[in-house]
Copies of this chain bind each other. A is one copy, B any other.
Amino acid sequence: VPATRLLISCADRHGIVAAVSAFLFEEGANIVSSDQHTTDPEGGRFFMRMEFTLDGLEDAAAFEERFAELVGRPLEMDWRMASADRRKRVALLASRDGNCLLDLLWRWQRGELHADVALVVSNHRLLEEHVAGFGVPFVHVPVTPETKPEAERELLGHLRGCDVAVLARYMQILSGGFLDALGLPVINIHHSFLPAFAGADPYRRAHERGVKIIGATAHYVTEELDAGPIIEQDVVRTTHRATVADLARMGADIERVVLARAVQWHLQDRVLVDGNKTIVFG
């Protein structure tokens, strides 16, 4: 039996865990794992992720309606359920640098990512052939300052039906209007340890500042550049010997791993957004 994931966020109050687990027990479900977090014991917000299995569940809609009636509405919850065996549809976007894109495709091909890669979109043709080798559709949507609005409209059409978009070194800024119209979570990898070196050319700026550690940050995209909720970060040590090119090369190893972790956790419904932060359940 595949597990079902229940994600909850609501104002913190007494009896939430008890209400949820009593409901599940009476439905005959077995709780496989449960994580929760309260931002503040006094008047904070409560977040929960539960995985449960339920033998013989035939009518998931009716089950969800019972949950809504008995638990969700009385406790004023935002909640959703996701079957662990449903593969999310992922759109990958990249520009010229295939480092993160190919790494994700490769992990996907190895079976590490439980998802369907619906397509790859790029504003360049450079990576087309590489993507072909993975049997994934490649769509070329060029963008210039003049054509940006229509390019975003075209992009919107291509991403229809996806569950999540991943910017795997896609070097175009997405407009707020586009993000609103898209209505999907969008994960970006930024090649610095945010909030340091937001914006363009972080490795050059890290070199100029003489930092001793460089990093990468995966975050959900919001209208404000490089300012969305951080999902994961990691770093690597460097020294005065490293050139900007060395930093880019060392950083590439970190970018790949950080983005892959963030995508993995998102696909496993482990990431809940709390304003401008994330809760990542382990």
Interface residues of A (CB under 8 A from B): 14-19, 21-22, 24-25, 28, 30-38, 41, 99, 102, 106, 110, 112, 133, 193-197, 208-213, 215, 229-235, 237, 239-241, 249, 253, 257, 260, 274, 276-280, 282
Contact = CB atoms under 8 A, between A and B. Distances in A.
**How many copies of this chain sit in the oligomeric assembly?**
4
A34 B233 CA distance: 26
Given A17-B31, A18-B24, A18-B31, A233 B209 contact: no
Contacts of A17: 21, 31, 34
B209 A234 contact: no
Given A212-B230, A230-B209, A36 B36 contact: no
A31 B110 CA distance: 40
Contact of A278 (B36, B210, B233): B210
Main secondary structure of the interface of A (DSSP, over half): mixed
A133 B109 CA distance: 15
Contact of A233 (B197, B213, B253, B282): B213
B21 A239 contact: no
Nearest to A192: B196
Contacts of A21: 17-18, 21-22
A223 B277 CA distance: 34
A157 to B, nearest CB: 31
B106 A102 contact: yes
5 contacts: A32-B41, A34-B36, A195-B197, A208-B276, A282-B282
Contacts of A232: 212
Contacts of A234: 213
A212 B262 CA distance: 12
A240 B229 CA distance: 12
Given A211-B194, A235-B213, A277-B240, A25 B18 contact: yes
B41 A276 contact: no
Nearest to A27: B18
B280 A240 contact: yes
Q: Could you say which of A25, A41, A231 has the most chain B C-beta atoms within 10 Å of its C-beta?
A: A25
